[in-house]
Amino acid sequence: MKNKGLLIVISGPSGAGKGTVCRELLRSFNKNLELSISVTTRKPRVGETEGVNYFFRDKDEFARMVEDGEFIEYAKVHDNFYGTPKNYVMSKLEDGKDVILEIDMQGGMKVKHVFHEAISIYIIPPTFAELKKRIEGRGTETEKDICKRLKNAYEELGHVNNYDYVVVNDDIKNAAKKINCILTAEKCRLSRSNIDFDKFREG
């Protein structure tokens, strides 16, 4: 019998390096992982590709998808909407794939409310000062946007105890390795085992 895949929620403040860590995790450690692609109403950044980084939709189309129940969760973040497509995720889990949802804290808590078995991991930089440095160094946000992201990050950190694990991203490879260890341990949980111990004892 095929084990159902793990649903993994990875969150963290803007600038924590969530995307970079996820890409390293996919590249170097776990070949059974799939990164769920979110739908967003924000404009693509330089280098982002439709259907690879996000599904980019306008607000009217996003509203239609909400009305049709096409999202596991959706939220408004920094004046834009983000949603996790239900059919894509569920089909991967049933096929035994582990699926990462790289989403904000609002979305993460909604997923945990619906999928109690989801594994939630919060990524932070070594210090808040380093977070500020990373956001400013991207050069993609206005001063107003930077202030908003830092304010949101400060407030989010007051609720980080809602997550199962926290990983400090001081080094990309090391952070990805820690997450891989978490997933390996989670797969060994007795509650996820398909072993029939009565038959096992007979053998």
pLDDT digits (tens, 9 = 90+) for 6-64: 999 999 988 888 999 999 999 998 789 999 988 999 999 889 999 888 999 999 999 99
CA angle in degrees (0–180, nearest 5) for 19-25-26: 90
| pTM of structure | 0.82
CA angle in degrees (0–180, nearest 5) for 9-11-12: 165
Quick one: which of 7, 10, 165, 6 has its CA closest to 72?
Answer: 7
For residues 130 and 36, is the Cβ–Cβ distance under 8 A?
Answer: no
With 60 as the cut, is the pLDDT of residue 1 above it? no
Q: What are the tens digits of pLDDT across the range 177-189?
A: 999 999 999 999 9
The pLDDT mean for the chain works out to: 90
**Rounded distance, CA 87 to CA 185, Å?**
27
| Mean pLDDT value of segment 167-193 | 93
pLDDT > 70 fraction of the chain, expressed in percent and rounded: 98
2 band by pLDDT with thresholds 50, 70 and 90: low
Going along the chain from its start, the domains and CATH numbers come out as: 7-189 (3.40.50.300)
**Rounded distance, CA 135 to CA 139, Å?**
8
| Cβ contacts of 179 within 8 Å, gap of 6 or more | 10, 21, 25, 29, 121, 167
**Rounded distance, CA 50 to CA 44, Å?**
8
**Rounded distance, CA 176 to CA 155, Å?**
25
With 90 as the cut, is the pLDDT of residue 149 above it? no
Residue reference for tokens 């330089």: 46
**Rounded distance, CA 36 to CA 8, Å?**
10
pLDDT > 90 fraction of the chain, expressed in percent and rounded: 55
- The per-residue DSSP string of 130-198 comes to HHHHHHHHH--S-HHHHHHHHHHHHHHGGGGGGSSEEEE-SSHHHHHHHHHHHHHHHHT-GGG----HH
